[in-house]
Chain A
Amino acid sequence: MPAINIDRGKVVFEGDKSILQVAHQAGIYIPHLCHHPQLGLVSEVASLERIYEGNVAYYGKEGERAEGCNLCVVEIHGREGLIQSCRVMAEDGMNVCTDSPEVKRTRQSTLANILERHPHACLLCPEAEGCDRKVCSIQVDEQERCCSKFGICELQKLTRFIGVNAGLPRYIPFNSPVIDNEPLYSRNYGLCIGCLRCVNVCKKVKGVGALGFIINKEGHVVVGSIEPTLKESSCQFCGYCVEVCPTGTLTDKVASAGKRETSLVPCKNNCPAEIDVPRYIRSIKEGDFEKALRVIWEKVPFPEVLGRVCFHPCERDCRRGNLDQPVAVCALKRFAANRGEACFLPQTVKETIKKKWKVAVIGSGPAGLTASYYLKILGYSVTVFEALPKLGGMLWMGIPPYRLPRDVIDRDIKRIINAGIEVKTNYRVDSIRDLFSAGFKAIFVAVGAHQGSKLGIPGEENKGVIEGVAFLRNLHLGHQAPIGQHLAIIGGGNVAVDSARSALRHGAREITIFYRRTRSEIPAFEEEIEGALEEGIRIEYQVGPKRIEKVDGRLKVEFVRMHMGGLDDSKRRTPIPIVGSEFNLEFDSVVTAIGQRSVAPDGIDITSNDGKGVKINPAAGVYVGGDLLTGPRTVIEAIRSGRKGAILIDNFLEGKCVTGPLFTEQETVRLETNNVYMARNRSVMPALSVQERAHSFVEVKLDFDEQTGIGEARRCLECDLRFKIKPPFLPPEPYSLLTEENIQSISEIEGVYLIYDEHKELLQITGVENIRQALMEEYRKQGTPRYFSYKQDPMFTSKESQLIQQFVKEHGELPPGNKEIDDLF
């Protein structure tokens, strides 16, 4: 194999590679700015005739090439002068020197030329660590200070590596525009050093070419968009340019420290069940509906149900919403489920290894069935106990068929049961002890919240006053008695609105919902409220009932008006009755829907849960999930807790830490454009007209046709792809392996030491009086190999705070080792 010598060390390589690439592969850092592991040479992109920085146009000659940053220079034995290591191919037997005095001097003066046109005062300030850069003791003008990327900036790290020569000229601000009025990104061209990574990635990786550059009369590179706005420049908002920018020129408007991936891929982050949303949208876009369904199924076994009733938090912060409207993610789930179904049966995907344990699941709602399904896939024998005659829990008992047709529930449930789950309906489990004596080793309890809360007012016990959940349950089981024409619904949640809309379909003519607070506080989903209003249901706000009386076979309800007081514990305003505002109304029936409770089987104490997940008394193997644990919540949250429960039970029985079953393999994605539809608005699902739907239980919303569905998927900006871009190769951090020998070479000094794990991730920052002694203590408790670095400083406590501040800025939390004690509470 061919090899070259770099700084007296031999490095072997394969194929055609530049010296820079060979060096980086061997972990030897050669400074660079225009080079990036994802990109080709800077000379691959040519200048344009005109570019824009906002509304300002810059003109130059078309077709010119930039010469690049020139920082990667090295010496090659036997060749004259310095050579750009990114342009010269490695040849067997070459002797390369990356750190001769000549190389270092040249780099410093090249860097000086770059920094002359970039604010850099803080890079040189000895007091920069622990400075907020808001107030400057040495009165440096604000424009000359570093930007908010200070501390995590690639240019800063490079400068620290190369060093600056004494005569670095002062930065003179020039009036480059800050473009802040565009969606998603801020561009501060005053910070641009003309490395052209953004232009290169846009043109060569994404294949779009929304960004370009010119070379001005002074020979400087000026970067901008090809038209005044990004949209006009046909930008596809992929974020690649921000990802590769080594300075603070291109930044995301929303990106919380340390949580970049979650804040920049909000759909995936917001999904309670952690469905990989961008991935299944991409599969739809590519026409692979089966794979889309597999991706969904890895996290939820109810794709058809969710495609209809999920409250889709994935759409709330969709970044496409910053351009026009969010992608219709929920509708696309239904679209995928309808089309992927025939070919995909998840239970056949994985040959399960049978495990000897029997697990019982109490309750067959979304939480219970989800737990059953994943437990089965993990290899357990699962039995589901359901007190009612039908499986599905609240899906069946609570959600009306016009929102969720019964055949949809049945299809999802059938697939789950077909995985080989034993089912016992009409079987109420009164005590979990009986199950243990029947041989079950673990129990998942998810009995839901099927008991309506009482109003606590006189006359509530009258015939004709019905609990909302009981009303819906009886209706859905087919034995609800007639309710008359004139109906009052008390409450403002989804049960209230579902009751109202169902009552309309069950023969009631005049329906009014009475809610104690205002429109802005009503907890029912907006869509449902709008549907109800469209169908002629009235909503009275800031009204509460005081008493109910039976008068001549009808119900007389005394109401009182409310005004809004201060915030209560749930951070909602408290309704306060207005004295003297009472009024009476008469109804045939009154439906009360002000909340639900759970009735748990014996032996379950819900108060002992940890508030976060599903576990209760894990030593005994009893786990709790769904509404029983959380109080009435959404379907997707119930599914989440079901899946989590399955994983915890697997951990309990088998002691293995698993992430749950996977039905797909991670594919290698293409970074080039998928032709995002930029000019297309959100597709609206076809729906039945008000006349067609108001008195029937037929489903209101209809599926997309194939063309519309794929078209809608193509609106997705694929925000997740930017994280597939290779990370830049950064200057080495000064760590050493935590060995006795390395520690003994340090003298007994005051300062701060930093401990890194085997992947060189920072674990802990600690200021001490005697670094050597403290490191020896660390060394003695070590298990896996670790690394350390240290900074000598007599003011070590404040140095420690400074370094912690730096870390928090980058990661959004304390270092794991420092956080440990914080987590005790």
Chain B
Amino acid sequence: MSEQIREPVKKEKEYWRWDEYNWHNSDKSWKDAKIITAGIDVGSVSSQAVIMMDGELHAIANMRTGHSSPDSALKAFNWAIEGTGLRLEDIHYCIGTGYGRLKVPFANRTVTEIACHARGAIFMYGSSVRTVMDMGGQDLKVIRCDEKGKVLNFLMNDKCAAGTGRGMEVIADLLRVPITEIGDLSLQVEKDPPPISNTCVLFAKTEIMGMLFENMPVTDILAAYTAAMAERVCGQIREVGVEEDFVITGGIAKNRGVVERLERSLGIKSLKTKVDYQLAGAIGAALFAKVLVEKSKK
């Protein structure tokens, strides 16, 4: 009996896990660049590092934040420069942002993620962006900005995990559906079932257990959950007011189920881009770094 208990528990598949990756532009050498800057966005769930050459994306890395933020920052940075030949000392200026921004030991300074997200969104989607909705790991932010990315209004909620990446991870685990597939699966229903009534992740979990017990198809449950998330976020964004163009950044932006439902209830489409939606903060930070370098040269 006691022997059995001591046996290592068989490792479950980690459904919540999403792909970590790095990339760099191998067509160009960093040696041609006048200004090389880095932006590190240490979030509560994921961390991103971006290296920019003269304001152009050169290398990126996107990974999970570990238990220790300083490590995460350095790990992400090292992974981004992997294969580029760059070293830390080649970076002219580095800015840390995000929830763990003060834990980027090699950053020259920090900038709030609010400013970085707006700036990054303008870079990624163009200067027509006026409303940025960042659906991050543990909080939601709605930012209104001008054509230069200057913050005009801002609303956040970090009290409730519903509608955040962390909440989504919990649901992925519970339903044993890989997190990257949740969005597509949730759209495979003819008609949306009534949204889950409890927005709180803990209560929603209980409600979903009940649904599973009643043999409700997983696609329906996912539809009900993502619909509830979209509804909840919708109320928040209306509080600030949506001015087009509207974009969604952060990990949840990759979840088509949430995005499409949100667009439906708002009655507007969000702009899309090829750049990873999670990179907005880090890109904004690298852009701030570039301006600071330029300013110091003047």
Using CB atoms and an 8 Å cutoff, list the residues of chain A in contact with chain B.
127, 130-132, 134-137, 139, 257, 767-769, 796-798, 800-802, 804-805, 808-809, 812-814, 818-819, 821-825
Q: How far is the CB of A533 from chain B (nearest CB, A)?
A: 34
> Across the two chains, which residue of chain B brings its CB closest to A765?
B112
> Across the two chains, which residue of chain A brings its CB closest to B99?
A797
Among B151-159, B208-216, B258-266, the one that faces the other chain is: B151-159
Q: Does B291 have its Cβ within 8 Å of any Cβ on chain A?
A: yes
Q: Given A130-B156, A130-B159, A797-B101 in contact, is the A804-B150 Cβ separation under 8 Å?
A: no
Counting chain A CB atoms within 10 Å of each CB, the highest count among B148, B159, B295 belongs to B159
A257 contacts B200, C-beta separation under 8 Å: no
In the assembled complex, 13 residue pairs joining A and B whose CB atoms fall closer than 8 Å, in A order, are A131-B157, A132-B155, A132-B156, A135-B162, A769-B102, A797-B100, A797-B113, A801-B114, A801-B156, A801-B158, A812-B153, A821-B115, A824-B295
Q: Given A821-B111, A821-B115 in contact, is the A798-B158 Cβ separation under 8 Å?
A: yes
Interface residues of B in 124-154 (CB under 8 A from A): 139, 141, 148-154
A797 contacts B158, C-beta separation under 8 Å: no
Interface residues of B in 257-298 (CB under 8 A from A): 288, 291-292, 295
A135 contacts B102, C-beta separation under 8 Å: no
Known: A134-B239, A797-B113, A798-B158. 19 other contacts (CB 8 A): A130-B158, A132-B155, A134-B157, A135-B163, A135-B232, A768-B102, A797-B98, A797-B102, A801-B113, A801-B114, A802-B158, A804-B154, A808-B153, A809-B155, A814-B115, A819-B151, A821-B115, A824-B292, A825-B119
Q: How far is the CB of B5 from chain A (nearest CB, A)?
A: 36
Q: Given A135-B199, A825-B119 in contact, is the A818-B112 Cβ separation under 8 Å?
A: yes
Rounded to whole angstroms, the CA-CA distance of A800 and B154 in the bound complex is 13
Interface residues of B in 17-32 (CB under 8 A from A): none
A135 contacts B112, C-beta separation under 8 Å: no
- List residues of chain A with CB within 8 A of the CB of B141: 801
- List residues of chain B with CB within 8 A of the CB of A797: 98-102, 113
Rounded to whole angstroms, the CA-CA distance of A801 and B155 in the bound complex is 9
> Across the two chains, which residue of chain B brings its CB closest to A750?
B102
Q: Does B78 have its Cβ within 8 Å of any Cβ on chain A?
A: no
Counting chain B CB atoms within 10 Å of each CB, the highest count among A135, A137, A139, A814 belongs to A135
Rounded to whole angstroms, the CA-CA distance of A132 and B150 in the bound complex is 22
- List residues of chain A with CB within 8 A of the CB of B153: 257, 808, 812
Rounded to whole angstroms, the CA-CA distance of A372 and B236 in the bound complex is 52
Q: Does B193 have its Cβ within 8 Å of any Cβ on chain A?
A: no
Counting chain A CB atoms within 10 Å of each CB, the highest count among B100, B111, B115 belongs to B115
- List residues of chain B with CB within 8 A of the CB of A800: 112
Q: Does B83 have its Cβ within 8 Å of any Cβ on chain A?
A: no
Q: Given A135-B162, A797-B102 in contact, is the A808-B112 Cβ separation under 8 Å?
A: no
- List residues of chain A with CB within 8 A of the CB of B158: 130, 798, 801-802
Rounded to whole angstroms, the CA-CA distance of A821 and B110 in the bound complex is 11
Q: How far is the CB of B197 from chain A (nearest CB, A)?
A: 10
Rounded to whole angstroms, the CA-CA distance of A283 and B288 in the bound complex is 50
> Across the two chains, which residue of chain A brings its CB closest to B141?
A801
Q: Does B217 have its Cβ within 8 Å of any Cβ on chain A?
A: no
Q: Chain B contact residues (Cβ within 8 angstroms of A): what range?
A: 35 or more
Q: Given A769-B102, A824-B291 in contact, is the A132-B157 Cβ separation under 8 Å?
A: yes
- Partner pick for B115 among A127, A136, A809, A822, CB 8 A cutoff: A822
Q: How far is the CB of A819 from chain B (nearest CB, A)?
A: 8
Q: How far is the CB of A149 from chain B (nearest CB, A)?
A: 13
B239 contacts A132, C-beta separation under 8 Å: yes
Q: How far is the CB of A650 from chain B (nearest CB, A)?
A: 27
Rounded to whole angstroms, the CA-CA distance of A821 and B287 in the bound complex is 12
Q: Does B174 have its Cβ within 8 Å of any Cβ on chain A?
A: no
> Across the two chains, which residue of chain B brings its CB closest to A813?
B152
| Closest 9 A/B residue pairs (Cβ) | A134-B235, A132-B157, A131-B159, A824-B291, A137-B160, A825-B148, A808-B154, A127-B159, A134-B236
Rounded to whole angstroms, the CA-CA distance of A472 and B151 in the bound complex is 46
> Across the two chains, which residue of chain B brings its CB closest to A571?
B128
Q: How far is the CB of B245 from chain A (nearest CB, A)?
A: 12
B156 contacts A137, C-beta separation under 8 Å: no
> Across the two chains, which residue of chain B brings its CB closest to A800?
B112
Rounded to whole angstroms, the CA-CA distance of A151 and B163 in the bound complex is 24
A135 contacts B157, C-beta separation under 8 Å: yes
- List residues of chain A with CB within 8 A of the CB of B159: 127, 130-131, 137
- List residues of chain B with CB within 8 A of the CB of A801: 112-114, 139, 141, 156, 158
- List residues of chain B with CB within 8 A of the CB of A137: 159-160, 200
> Across the two chains, which residue of chain A brings its CB closest to B100?
A797
- List residues of chain A with CB within 8 A of the CB of B100: 797
Q: How far is the CB of B212 from chain A (nearest CB, A)?
A: 23
B235 contacts A822, C-beta separation under 8 Å: no
Rounded to whole angstroms, the CA-CA distance of A134 and B238 in the bound complex is 10
Rounded to whole angstroms, the CA-CA distance of A767 and B113 in the bound complex is 12
- List residues of chain A with CB within 8 A of the CB of B98: 797
> Across the two chains, which residue of chain B brings its CB closest to A796?
B102
Rounded to whole angstroms, the CA-CA distance of A343 and B53 in the bound complex is 67
A132 contacts B236, C-beta separation under 8 Å: yes
Q: How far is the CB of B125 from chain A (nearest CB, A)?
A: 16
A822 contacts B150, C-beta separation under 8 Å: yes
Rounded to whole angstroms, the CA-CA distance of A819 and B115 in the bound complex is 9
Map CB proximity to A onto B24-46 as digits: 1 under 8 Å, 0 otherwise. 00000000000000000000000
B112 contacts A798, C-beta separation under 8 Å: no
Rounded to whole angstroms, the CA-CA distance of A676 and B275 in the bound complex is 59
Map CB proximity to A onto B59-99 as digits: 1 under 8 Å, 0 otherwise. 00000000000000000000000000000000000000011
B199 contacts A825, C-beta separation under 8 Å: no
Q: How far is the CB of B119 from chain A (nearest CB, A)?
A: 7
- List residues of chain B with CB within 8 A of the CB of A805: 154-156
> Across the two chains, which residue of chain A brings its CB closest to B153?
A808
- Partner pick for B235 among A130, A135, A819, CB 8 A cutoff: A135
- List residues of chain B with CB within 8 A of the CB of A818: 112, 115
Rounded to whole angstroms, the CA-CA distance of A822 and B118 in the bound complex is 10
> Across the two chains, which residue of chain A brings its CB closest to B122?
A825
Rounded to whole angstroms, the CA-CA distance of A67 and B102 in the bound complex is 54
- Partner pick for A825 among B150, B156, B232, CB 8 A cutoff: B150
A798 contacts B139, C-beta separation under 8 Å: yes
> Across the two chains, which residue of chain B brings its CB closest to A139?
B200
- List residues of chain B with CB within 8 A of the CB of A825: 119, 148-150, 291
Rounded to whole angstroms, the CA-CA distance of A823 and B119 in the bound complex is 11
- List residues of chain B with CB within 8 A of the CB of A127: 159
Q: How far is the CB of B57 from chain A (nearest CB, A)?
A: 18
- List residues of chain B with CB within 8 A of the CB of A769: 102
Rounded to whole angstroms, the CA-CA distance of A364 and B145 in the bound complex is 39
- Partner pick for B151 among A139, A802, A809, A822, CB 8 A cutoff: A822
- List residues of chain B with CB within 8 A of the CB of A139: 200
Rounded to whole angstroms, the CA-CA distance of A754 and B199 in the bound complex is 34
Q: How far is the CB of A142 from chain B (nearest CB, A)?
A: 10
- List residues of chain B with CB within 8 A of the CB of A809: 155
> Across the two chains, which residue of chain A brings its CB closest to B149?
A825
- List residues of chain A with CB within 8 A of the CB of B101: 797
- Partner pick for A812 among B139, B152, B239, CB 8 A cutoff: B152
- List residues of chain A with CB within 8 A of the CB of B148: 825
Q: How far is the CB of B110 from chain A (nearest CB, A)?
A: 9
Q: How far is the CB of B147 from chain A (nearest CB, A)?
A: 10
- List residues of chain B with CB within 8 A of the CB of A824: 288, 291-292, 295
Rounded to whole angstroms, the CA-CA distance of A809 and B239 in the bound complex is 11
- List residues of chain A with CB within 8 A of the CB of B200: 137, 139
> Across the two chains, which residue of chain A brings its CB closest to B102?
A769
Q: Given A769-B102, A800-B112, A821-B115 in contact, is the A135-B156 Cβ separation under 8 Å?
A: no
> Across the two chains, which residue of chain B brings its CB closest to A808?
B154
Rounded to whole angstroms, the CA-CA distance of A127 and B150 in the bound complex is 28
Q: How far is the CB of B92 from chain A (nearest CB, A)?
A: 16
Rounded to whole angstroms, the CA-CA distance of A805 and B98 in the bound complex is 16
Q: How far is the CB of A448 from chain B (nearest CB, A)?
A: 28
Counting chain B CB atoms within 10 Å of each CB, the highest count among A132, A136, A824 belongs to A132
Rounded to whole angstroms, the CA-CA distance of A800 and B160 in the bound complex is 17
B288 contacts A804, C-beta separation under 8 Å: no
B139 contacts A821, C-beta separation under 8 Å: no
